[in-house]
Amino acid sequence: MKITTSYFKKAKEKGEKITMLTAYDYTTASLVDAAGIESILVGDSLGMTMLGYDSTLPVTMEDMIHHTKCVSRGAKNALVIADMPFMSYHISIEDSCINAGRLIKEGGAAAVKLEGGEEFAETIRAIVRCQIPVCGHIGLTPQSINAFGGFKVQGKTAEAARGLIKSAKTLEDAGVFAIVVEGVPAEIGGLISKSVSVPVIGIGAGKDCDGQVLVVQDMLGTFPGHKPKFVKQFASVGEVMTNAFKAYSDEVKNGSFPADEHTYKINDEEIKKLY
C-alpha cells in the first residue's frame, strides 16, 4: 500500500506509532521499504553520511535532488520526504517554492521537510499552496548549529519548551502534515505531541512522540562519526562489512578468489586456436 500524508493523520488519530528512517540511495531505500517502514526521509544528514562533510550546511539542491531520485526509485510504498537544504528556503518565498517543486518534480519525493519555526510560517503556507506537503522540523535543528553554538539539546527550560510548543502550533496552523522534533527532553517531546493534531516524529525526543525517525547509518552502525545518546544501534553492519572486506582482501592476496564457480569458461577447441 502506497503511504500518503493522510495515512500519517489517521495513524495519529488511531494512536498508532509511525516509523521513519533516512535513506540516500536506491539499495537502502529498497530494503527499508521492503521492511515496511512507512516513511523514508532523504535527510540533508547525507552531507555527513554520504558526502563526508562535518555538518549539513554545505549540502546543495543538486545533492538533494540526486539522492532523492535514487530513493524514489527504491521506495515502492514508503512516503518519500526530501529535506530542503540550508539556504534553499531562506532567501525568498518564490525561491522556496521553486526549490520545493524541484524536489517533487525532479527528485520524485512526495513531500519536503524544512527546519525552523514561526519565521518560516509564510514560506510553508506558500509551499503548501503549491500542493506540496510540508513536514516541519523544530528543536535541535542541525542547519542552525552556528546560531546555537553547537549541537545542543533544546527546550531545557520552561520558557524554551513553551517556545517549542508555540512553534509546533504555528507550523500546524501553517499547514504542515507532520513535524520532526529533534533533541529535546522526553517530557517536552510528549507535550509537543499532545499540543498538535499533526503527528510529531521524534529523534532524541523520547517515546511519547507519535513516531520515531533515525539516521539509517546510525541504527545500523555503519557511520564512523559521533553517535548521539539517542541512537540505538540495532545491528553491527559496519563490523560485518569490515570483516567481509578483510576476507575479500585475504582471498585475493592468497589467490583463493575467484574460484571455479566464479569463473567464465570457454571450450578447449577455441582456446587451442589461440596458441
Query: 132 phi and psi, to 5 degrees?
Result: -110, 115
**Residue nearest to ligand KIV as judged by C-beta position:** 43
Calpha distance 59→57 (Å, rounded):
6
Contacts of 11 (CB under 8 A, 6+ apart): 17, 18, 38, 199, 210, 211
**Cβ distance to ligand KIV smaller for residue 146 or 267:** 146
Residue (of 51, 99, 42, 49) closest to 75 by Cα position: 42
170 touches 118 (CB < 8 A)? yes
Give the residue carrying C-alpha cell 514561526.
118
Among 29, 37, 39, 44, binds ligand KIV (CB under 6 A): 44
Among 8, 43, 72, 177, binds ligand KIV (CB under 6 A): 43
Under rule CB under 6 A, residue 45 binds ligand KIV: yes
Active-site residue identified among 38, 62, 182, 261: 182
Among 80, 178, 180, 198, binds ligand KIV (CB under 6 A): 180
User: Measured from the CB of residue 131, what is the shortest distance to ligand KIV in angstroms?
Assistant: 23
Calpha distance 150→157 (Å, rounded):
18
Give the contact letters, 194-223, x = binds to ligand KIV (CB under 6 A), - = no: ---------x---------x-x--------
Q: Which residues are catalytic?
A: 182
Q: List residues binding ligand KIV (CB under 6 A).
A: 22, 41, 43-45, 83, 137, 180, 182, 203, 213, 215
